[in-house]
Structure 1
Amino acid sequence: MSPEELSSIHPRLYHITRPSALSSIKEHGLLPASDLLTLFDVPSAQRELLETRRRPVSVTIKHPAYGQVTLTDNAPLSEVALSKCLDDDLEPWDWIRLLNERVFFWVDEKSLNSHLRANIKHGEQRVVLEFDTLSLVSTCNKRIELAAINTGSTIRRPARRGLSTFAPAHLYSYREWQQLRGGRDRIKELTVKGTVQDIDAHLIGHYTV
Protein backbone atom coordinates (compact mmCIF):
# COMPACT_ATOMS: atom_id res chain seq x y z
CA MET A 1 0.00 0.00 0.00
CA SER A 2 1.61 3.20 -1.09
CA PRO A 3 1.59 6.23 1.22
CA GLU A 4 -0.73 7.88 -1.29
CA GLU A 5 -3.25 5.03 -1.24
CA LEU A 6 -3.20 4.78 2.53
CA SER A 7 -3.60 8.53 3.00
CA SER A 8 -6.49 8.61 0.55
CA ILE A 9 -8.36 6.17 2.80
CA HIS A 10 -7.28 7.68 6.13
CA PRO A 11 -5.85 11.20 5.64
CA ARG A 12 -5.28 11.75 9.38
CA LEU A 13 -3.71 9.69 12.16
CA TYR A 14 -4.26 10.18 15.91
CA HIS A 15 -2.03 9.36 18.86
CA ILE A 16 -2.98 9.79 22.52
CA THR A 17 -0.45 10.91 25.11
CA ARG A 18 -0.16 12.85 28.37
CA PRO A 19 0.43 16.61 28.54
CA SER A 20 3.65 15.99 30.48
CA ALA A 21 5.06 13.92 27.59
CA LEU A 22 4.92 16.66 24.96
CA SER A 23 8.37 18.12 25.57
CA SER A 24 9.99 14.66 25.47
CA ILE A 25 8.12 13.79 22.28
CA LYS A 26 9.30 17.01 20.67
CA GLU A 27 12.90 16.18 21.58
CA HIS A 28 13.08 12.41 21.09
CA GLY A 29 10.09 11.59 18.89
CA LEU A 30 7.33 9.09 19.60
CA LEU A 31 9.08 6.12 21.18
CA PRO A 32 7.52 2.72 21.82
CA ALA A 33 7.90 1.40 25.35
CA SER A 34 10.88 -0.78 24.41
CA ASP A 35 12.80 2.18 22.98
CA LEU A 36 11.97 4.28 26.05
CA LEU A 37 13.37 1.55 28.29
CA THR A 38 16.58 1.61 26.23
CA LEU A 39 16.84 5.41 26.29
CA PHE A 40 16.27 5.50 30.05
CA ASP A 41 18.82 2.72 30.77
CA VAL A 42 16.28 0.65 32.69
CA PRO A 43 18.00 -2.35 34.38
CA SER A 44 17.47 -5.65 32.57
CA ALA A 45 15.42 -7.35 35.29
CA GLN A 46 12.97 -4.45 35.57
CA ARG A 47 12.94 -4.09 31.81
CA GLU A 48 11.96 -7.72 31.28
CA LEU A 49 8.95 -7.31 33.55
CA LEU A 50 7.83 -4.08 31.90
CA GLU A 51 8.21 -5.48 28.39
CA THR A 52 6.56 -8.85 28.87
CA ARG A 53 3.99 -8.51 31.64
CA ARG A 54 0.66 -6.75 31.78
CA ARG A 55 0.86 -3.31 33.42
CA PRO A 56 -2.36 -2.94 35.43
CA VAL A 57 -1.42 0.68 36.18
CA SER A 58 0.83 3.19 34.45
CA VAL A 59 4.50 3.05 35.43
CA THR A 60 6.85 6.05 35.73
CA ILE A 61 10.51 5.60 34.87
CA LYS A 62 13.23 8.17 35.57
CA HIS A 63 16.60 9.15 34.15
CA PRO A 64 19.11 11.71 35.49
CA ALA A 65 19.42 13.44 32.10
CA TYR A 66 15.99 12.89 30.53
CA GLY A 67 13.75 13.37 33.53
CA GLN A 68 10.77 11.05 33.77
CA VAL A 69 8.21 9.48 31.47
CA THR A 70 5.15 7.35 32.06
CA LEU A 71 4.56 3.99 30.43
CA THR A 72 0.83 3.72 29.90
CA ASP A 73 -0.95 0.81 31.51
CA ASN A 74 -2.25 -2.03 29.37
CA ALA A 75 -5.13 -2.80 31.70
CA PRO A 76 -7.53 -3.72 28.83
CA LEU A 77 -5.37 -6.83 28.27
CA SER A 78 -5.90 -10.04 30.18
CA GLU A 79 -3.11 -12.60 30.14
CA VAL A 80 -5.67 -15.35 30.70
CA ALA A 81 -7.73 -14.14 27.73
CA LEU A 82 -4.62 -13.79 25.60
CA SER A 83 -3.67 -17.40 26.27
CA LYS A 84 -6.96 -18.44 24.63
CA CYS A 85 -6.84 -16.24 21.52
CA LEU A 86 -3.21 -16.34 20.40
CA ASP A 87 -2.04 -18.18 17.27
CA ASP A 88 1.43 -19.17 15.98
CA ASP A 89 2.38 -20.74 19.33
CA LEU A 90 2.64 -17.29 20.90
CA GLU A 91 2.40 -16.91 24.66
CA PRO A 92 0.88 -13.86 26.39
CA TRP A 93 4.31 -12.41 27.14
CA ASP A 94 5.28 -12.71 23.47
CA TRP A 95 2.24 -10.64 22.48
CA ILE A 96 2.89 -8.01 25.12
CA ARG A 97 6.48 -7.68 23.89
CA LEU A 98 5.22 -7.20 20.32
CA LEU A 99 2.96 -4.38 21.53
CA ASN A 100 5.81 -2.70 23.40
CA GLU A 101 7.88 -2.55 20.20
CA ARG A 102 5.35 -0.37 18.40
CA VAL A 103 3.86 3.13 18.35
CA PHE A 104 0.09 3.07 17.83
CA PHE A 105 -2.22 5.37 15.92
CA TRP A 106 -5.98 5.45 15.49
CA VAL A 107 -6.94 5.97 11.85
CA ASP A 108 -10.24 7.84 12.32
CA GLU A 109 -12.02 9.98 14.87
CA LYS A 110 -14.72 7.39 15.52
CA SER A 111 -12.20 4.84 16.81
CA LEU A 112 -10.28 7.55 18.64
CA ASN A 113 -13.35 8.83 20.46
CA SER A 114 -14.54 5.34 21.35
CA HIS A 115 -11.17 4.64 22.92
CA LEU A 116 -11.18 7.95 24.80
CA ARG A 117 -14.66 7.32 26.21
CA ALA A 118 -13.74 3.83 27.34
CA ASN A 119 -10.28 4.45 28.76
CA ILE A 120 -9.81 7.97 30.12
CA LYS A 121 -10.33 7.96 33.84
CA HIS A 122 -12.14 10.78 35.54
CA GLY A 123 -9.91 13.78 36.10
CA GLU A 124 -7.04 12.59 33.90
CA GLN A 125 -6.08 14.80 30.99
CA ARG A 126 -4.88 13.44 27.68
CA VAL A 127 -3.53 15.13 24.58
CA VAL A 128 -4.51 13.98 21.11
CA LEU A 129 -1.80 14.47 18.48
CA GLU A 130 -3.16 14.74 14.94
CA PHE A 131 -0.81 13.81 12.09
CA ASP A 132 -0.82 14.08 8.33
CA THR A 133 -0.91 10.47 7.14
CA LEU A 134 0.93 11.03 3.85
CA SER A 135 3.81 12.82 5.55
CA LEU A 136 4.25 10.31 8.38
CA VAL A 137 3.79 7.18 6.29
CA SER A 138 6.17 8.43 3.58
CA THR A 139 8.90 8.74 6.20
CA CYS A 140 8.25 5.42 8.00
CA ASN A 141 6.94 3.45 5.01
CA LYS A 142 8.74 0.11 5.49
CA ARG A 143 7.92 0.12 9.23
CA ILE A 144 4.18 0.79 8.86
CA GLU A 145 1.88 -2.08 9.85
CA LEU A 146 -1.90 -2.36 9.75
CA ALA A 147 -4.22 -4.20 12.11
CA ALA A 148 -7.93 -4.87 11.82
CA ILE A 149 -8.44 -5.27 15.59
CA ASN A 150 -7.69 -3.39 18.77
CA THR A 151 -4.47 -5.26 19.46
CA GLY A 152 -4.12 -3.92 23.01
CA SER A 153 -7.46 -5.16 24.31
CA THR A 154 -9.02 -8.52 25.13
CA ILE A 155 -12.31 -7.12 26.41
CA ARG A 156 -15.55 -8.68 25.08
CA ARG A 157 -14.92 -11.77 22.98
CA PRO A 158 -11.31 -11.00 22.02
CA ALA A 159 -10.42 -11.53 18.37
CA ARG A 160 -7.81 -14.11 17.51
CA ARG A 161 -4.39 -12.65 16.89
CA GLY A 162 -0.92 -13.76 15.88
CA LEU A 163 2.13 -12.84 13.85
CA SER A 164 0.04 -11.93 10.81
CA THR A 165 -2.14 -9.48 12.77
CA PHE A 166 0.43 -6.74 12.14
CA ALA A 167 0.56 -6.69 8.33
CA PRO A 168 3.36 -4.68 6.65
CA ALA A 169 1.47 -2.04 4.69
CA HIS A 170 3.99 -1.74 1.86
CA LEU A 171 3.48 -5.37 0.81
CA TYR A 172 -0.20 -5.09 -0.11
CA SER A 173 -2.73 -2.88 -1.78
CA TYR A 174 -5.75 -2.05 0.37
CA ARG A 175 -7.84 -4.62 -1.49
CA GLU A 176 -5.17 -7.29 -1.09
CA TRP A 177 -4.99 -6.55 2.63
CA GLN A 178 -8.76 -6.86 2.91
CA GLN A 179 -8.70 -10.19 1.10
CA LEU A 180 -6.15 -11.48 3.61
CA ARG A 181 -8.64 -10.54 6.32
CA GLY A 182 -11.61 -12.23 4.65
CA GLY A 183 -12.69 -9.36 2.42
CA ARG A 184 -14.69 -7.23 4.85
CA ASP A 185 -12.32 -5.89 7.50
CA ARG A 186 -11.27 -2.28 7.75
CA ILE A 187 -8.12 -0.80 9.24
CA LYS A 188 -8.52 -0.38 12.98
CA GLU A 189 -4.96 0.54 13.96
CA LEU A 190 -1.86 1.76 12.21
CA THR A 191 1.39 0.99 13.95
CA VAL A 192 5.01 1.95 13.44
CA LYS A 193 7.63 -0.51 14.56
CA GLY A 194 10.20 1.59 16.37
CA THR A 195 10.49 5.33 16.89
CA VAL A 196 8.71 8.04 14.90
CA GLN A 197 11.12 10.98 14.67
CA ASP A 198 10.78 14.58 13.49
CA ILE A 199 7.30 14.91 14.93
CA ASP A 200 6.89 18.54 13.91
CA ALA A 201 7.32 17.58 10.27
CA HIS A 202 4.13 15.47 10.38
CA LEU A 203 2.09 17.12 13.12
CA ILE A 204 -1.03 19.05 12.13
CA GLY A 205 -2.03 20.02 15.66
CA HIS A 206 -2.93 18.78 19.10
CA TYR A 207 -5.71 19.28 21.61
CA THR A 208 -6.41 18.37 25.21
CA VAL A 209 -9.30 16.14 26.22
Structure 2
Amino acid sequence: MSAAALLDDYGVNGDLRHQLGSCRRPNSVPLAAEGRPGTVLRDQKPMDDGRLARCLDDGLTPRDWYELLNSRTFFWLSRSRIWGLLRARAYRNVPQTVLTLDTKRLVAAHRDRIWLSPINSGATLFKPQRRGLATFQRVADFPFDQRAKTRRLEDNVVELVVDHSVPDVANYVLAVHEVRDDQILSEIWCGPEGGPGDHP
Protein backbone atom coordinates (compact mmCIF):
# COMPACT_ATOMS: atom_id res chain seq x y z
CA MET A 1 0.00 0.00 0.00
CA SER A 2 1.11 3.53 -0.66
CA ALA A 3 1.46 5.91 2.26
CA ALA A 4 -1.81 7.61 1.25
CA ALA A 5 -3.59 4.25 1.05
CA LEU A 6 -2.34 3.34 4.53
CA LEU A 7 -3.44 6.69 5.95
CA ASP A 8 -6.88 6.16 4.39
CA ASP A 9 -7.10 2.62 5.70
CA TYR A 10 -6.10 3.61 9.23
CA GLY A 11 -8.36 6.67 9.33
CA VAL A 12 -5.58 9.24 9.75
CA ASN A 13 -6.94 12.76 9.22
CA GLY A 14 -6.39 16.40 10.17
CA ASP A 15 -2.99 17.77 11.16
CA LEU A 16 -1.47 14.30 11.48
CA ARG A 17 -2.60 13.44 7.95
CA HIS A 18 -0.87 16.58 6.65
CA GLN A 19 2.27 15.84 8.66
CA LEU A 20 2.54 12.25 7.43
CA GLY A 21 1.21 12.67 3.90
CA SER A 22 2.37 16.10 2.75
CA CYS A 23 5.68 16.60 4.56
CA ARG A 24 8.95 14.69 4.90
CA ARG A 25 8.76 11.88 7.46
CA PRO A 26 12.09 11.92 9.35
CA ASN A 27 11.23 8.69 11.17
CA SER A 28 9.07 5.64 10.60
CA VAL A 29 5.65 5.95 12.22
CA PRO A 30 3.61 3.04 13.63
CA LEU A 31 -0.08 3.08 12.73
CA ALA A 32 -2.87 1.40 14.64
CA ALA A 33 -6.65 1.20 14.22
CA GLU A 34 -9.35 -0.98 15.69
CA GLY A 35 -9.77 -4.14 13.67
CA ARG A 36 -6.57 -3.55 11.68
CA PRO A 37 -3.16 -5.17 12.18
CA GLY A 38 -0.37 -2.92 13.37
CA THR A 39 1.77 -1.50 10.59
CA VAL A 40 4.61 0.96 10.07
CA LEU A 41 4.68 3.90 7.70
CA ARG A 42 8.26 4.07 6.48
CA ASP A 43 10.43 7.12 6.98
CA GLN A 44 11.79 9.36 4.23
CA LYS A 45 15.28 9.83 5.64
CA PRO A 46 16.95 10.02 2.20
CA MET A 47 15.01 13.21 1.44
CA ASP A 48 16.00 16.78 2.31
CA ASP A 49 13.58 19.64 1.79
CA GLY A 50 16.21 22.16 0.73
CA ARG A 51 17.86 19.89 -1.82
CA LEU A 52 14.47 18.73 -3.04
CA ALA A 53 13.27 22.29 -3.65
CA ARG A 54 16.38 22.99 -5.76
CA CYS A 55 15.92 19.97 -8.05
CA LEU A 56 12.18 20.18 -8.74
CA ASP A 57 10.87 21.20 -12.17
CA ASP A 58 7.44 22.26 -13.48
CA GLY A 59 6.82 24.65 -10.61
CA LEU A 60 6.44 21.81 -8.12
CA THR A 61 6.97 22.38 -4.41
CA PRO A 62 8.34 19.85 -1.90
CA ARG A 63 4.77 19.35 -0.67
CA ASP A 64 3.65 18.49 -4.21
CA TRP A 65 6.45 15.94 -4.52
CA TYR A 66 5.78 14.30 -1.17
CA GLU A 67 2.09 14.01 -1.99
CA LEU A 68 2.92 12.49 -5.37
CA LEU A 69 5.29 9.93 -3.84
CA ASN A 70 2.85 9.13 -1.05
CA SER A 71 0.06 8.42 -3.55
CA ARG A 72 1.98 5.51 -5.10
CA THR A 73 3.42 2.13 -4.15
CA PHE A 74 7.11 1.62 -4.96
CA PHE A 75 9.09 -1.46 -5.97
CA TRP A 76 12.83 -1.87 -6.54
CA LEU A 77 13.79 -3.73 -9.71
CA SER A 78 17.29 -4.97 -8.91
CA ARG A 79 19.08 -6.78 -6.12
CA SER A 80 21.80 -4.14 -6.03
CA ARG A 81 19.25 -1.43 -5.24
CA ILE A 82 17.48 -3.34 -2.47
CA TRP A 83 20.79 -4.31 -0.85
CA GLY A 84 21.92 -0.69 -1.07
CA LEU A 85 18.86 0.29 0.95
CA LEU A 86 19.21 -2.55 3.45
CA ARG A 87 22.87 -1.72 4.11
CA ALA A 88 22.29 2.02 4.51
CA ARG A 89 23.33 3.37 7.90
CA ALA A 90 19.76 4.19 8.92
CA TYR A 91 18.49 0.64 8.31
CA ARG A 92 21.38 -1.81 8.63
CA ASN A 93 20.65 -2.73 12.24
CA VAL A 94 16.90 -3.08 11.78
CA PRO A 95 15.39 -6.37 10.51
CA GLN A 96 13.45 -5.80 7.30
CA THR A 97 10.88 -7.99 5.55
CA VAL A 98 11.53 -8.27 1.82
CA LEU A 99 8.99 -9.60 -0.69
CA THR A 100 10.28 -10.99 -3.99
CA LEU A 101 7.67 -10.66 -6.72
CA ASP A 102 6.99 -12.10 -10.15
CA THR A 103 7.29 -8.74 -11.88
CA LYS A 104 6.11 -10.01 -15.25
CA ARG A 105 2.75 -11.07 -13.83
CA LEU A 106 2.46 -7.92 -11.73
CA VAL A 107 2.94 -5.77 -14.82
CA ALA A 108 0.52 -7.85 -16.87
CA ALA A 109 -2.19 -7.37 -14.26
CA HIS A 110 -1.61 -3.68 -13.44
CA ARG A 111 0.03 -2.25 -16.57
CA ASP A 112 -2.45 0.64 -16.89
CA ARG A 113 -1.67 1.80 -13.32
CA ILE A 114 2.11 1.38 -13.51
CA TRP A 115 4.72 4.11 -13.91
CA LEU A 116 8.48 3.71 -14.39
CA SER A 117 11.12 6.04 -13.01
CA PRO A 118 14.71 6.47 -14.22
CA ILE A 119 15.85 7.76 -10.80
CA ASN A 120 15.45 7.08 -7.11
CA SER A 121 12.61 9.56 -6.76
CA GLY A 122 12.64 9.40 -2.97
CA ALA A 123 16.26 10.40 -2.39
CA THR A 124 18.06 13.73 -2.60
CA LEU A 125 21.10 13.15 -0.38
CA PHE A 126 23.80 12.62 -3.00
CA LYS A 127 23.86 14.74 -6.16
CA PRO A 128 20.06 14.92 -6.44
CA GLN A 129 18.81 14.55 -9.99
CA ARG A 130 16.22 16.81 -11.56
CA ARG A 131 12.67 15.58 -11.18
CA GLY A 132 9.21 16.72 -12.17
CA LEU A 133 5.99 15.73 -13.89
CA ALA A 134 7.84 13.78 -16.61
CA THR A 135 9.94 11.71 -14.20
CA PHE A 136 7.35 8.94 -14.06
CA GLN A 137 6.33 7.48 -17.42
CA ARG A 138 3.99 4.73 -18.48
CA VAL A 139 5.54 1.44 -19.58
CA ALA A 140 4.89 2.07 -23.27
CA ASP A 141 6.42 5.56 -23.10
CA PHE A 142 9.59 4.79 -21.15
CA PRO A 143 12.72 5.20 -23.36
CA PHE A 144 14.21 1.86 -22.33
CA ASP A 145 16.10 1.09 -25.56
CA GLN A 146 17.59 4.57 -25.77
CA ARG A 147 18.75 4.49 -22.15
CA ALA A 148 20.11 0.96 -22.51
CA LYS A 149 22.81 2.26 -24.87
CA THR A 150 24.57 4.11 -22.06
CA ARG A 151 23.38 2.45 -18.83
CA ARG A 152 23.61 -0.85 -17.02
CA LEU A 153 20.36 -2.78 -16.77
CA GLU A 154 19.87 -1.94 -13.07
CA ASP A 155 20.30 1.78 -13.85
CA ASN A 156 17.88 1.89 -16.75
CA VAL A 157 14.55 1.53 -14.95
CA VAL A 158 15.15 2.27 -11.28
CA GLU A 159 11.63 2.16 -9.83
CA LEU A 160 8.38 0.45 -10.73
CA VAL A 161 5.51 2.44 -9.26
CA VAL A 162 1.81 1.59 -8.97
CA ASP A 163 -0.96 4.08 -8.34
CA HIS A 164 -2.40 3.91 -4.80
CA SER A 165 -1.97 0.21 -3.89
CA VAL A 166 -1.68 -3.38 -5.10
CA PRO A 167 -4.44 -5.16 -3.15
CA ASP A 168 -3.78 -8.47 -4.90
CA VAL A 169 0.00 -8.37 -4.33
CA ALA A 170 -0.11 -11.82 -2.69
CA ASN A 171 -0.82 -13.27 -6.14
CA TYR A 172 2.66 -12.24 -7.31
CA VAL A 173 4.79 -12.99 -4.25
CA LEU A 174 7.38 -15.69 -4.89
CA ALA A 175 9.12 -15.58 -1.53
CA VAL A 176 9.40 -13.57 1.69
CA HIS A 177 12.62 -13.15 3.65
CA GLU A 178 13.77 -11.49 6.85
CA VAL A 179 16.94 -9.51 6.19
CA ARG A 180 19.30 -7.40 8.29
CA ASP A 181 22.28 -5.45 6.97
CA ASP A 182 23.89 -7.72 4.36
CA GLN A 183 22.47 -11.02 5.64
CA ILE A 184 19.35 -13.02 4.87
CA LEU A 185 18.27 -14.10 8.35
CA SER A 186 15.50 -16.47 7.35
CA GLU A 187 13.08 -17.49 4.65
CA ILE A 188 9.65 -16.67 6.03
CA TRP A 189 7.71 -18.14 3.16
CA CYS A 190 8.29 -19.58 -0.31
CA GLY A 191 5.40 -20.00 -2.72
CA PRO A 192 4.84 -22.92 -5.08
CA GLU A 193 6.26 -20.90 -7.97
CA GLY A 194 9.27 -19.69 -6.01
CA GLY A 195 12.73 -21.17 -6.50
CA PRO A 196 16.17 -21.04 -4.92
CA GLY A 197 17.02 -17.87 -6.82
CA ASP A 198 14.01 -15.95 -5.59
CA HIS A 199 15.52 -13.89 -2.79
CA PRO A 200 16.95 -10.40 -2.31
The TM-score normalised by the length of structure 2 is 0.81
Q: Which runs of 5+ in 2 are unaligned?
A: 180-200
Greater per-residue helix proportion: 1
Compute the displacement of 1:133 (Å).
1.0
SS, match of residue 67 in structure 1:
coil
Alignment of 1:19-168 (within 5 A): 31-118=1-88, 121-168=91-138
Contact 2:115–2:139, Cα closer than 8 Å, also in 1: yes
| RCO higher in structure (CA 8 A, sep ≥6) | 1
The answer to whether the aligner puts 1:204 opposite 2:139 as a matched pair is no
RMSD: 1.9
Q: Which runs of 5+ in 1 are unaligned?
A: 1-30
Cα distance in 2 for partners of 1:140, 1:75 equals 29
Structure 1 residues 202 and 158, CA gap change in structure 2 (3 angstroms):
same
| Residue type of the alignment partner of 2:11 | D
SS, match of residue 57 in structure 2:
coil
Structure 1 residues 123 and 172, CA gap change in structure 2 (3 angstroms):
closer
- Percent identity (aligned): 35
Compute the displacement of 1:129 (Å).
0.4
| Residue type of the alignment partner of 2:161 | T
Cα distance in 1 for partners of 2:178, 2:114 equals 26
Cα distance in 2 for partners of 1:174, 1:199 equals 25
Contact 1:131–1:202, Cα closer than 8 Å, also in 2: yes
Compute the displacement of 1:113 (Å).
1.1
The TM-score normalised by the length of structure 1 is 0.78
Cα distance in 1 for partners of 2:17, 2:132 equals 23
Cα distance in 1 for partners of 2:136, 2:143 equals 15
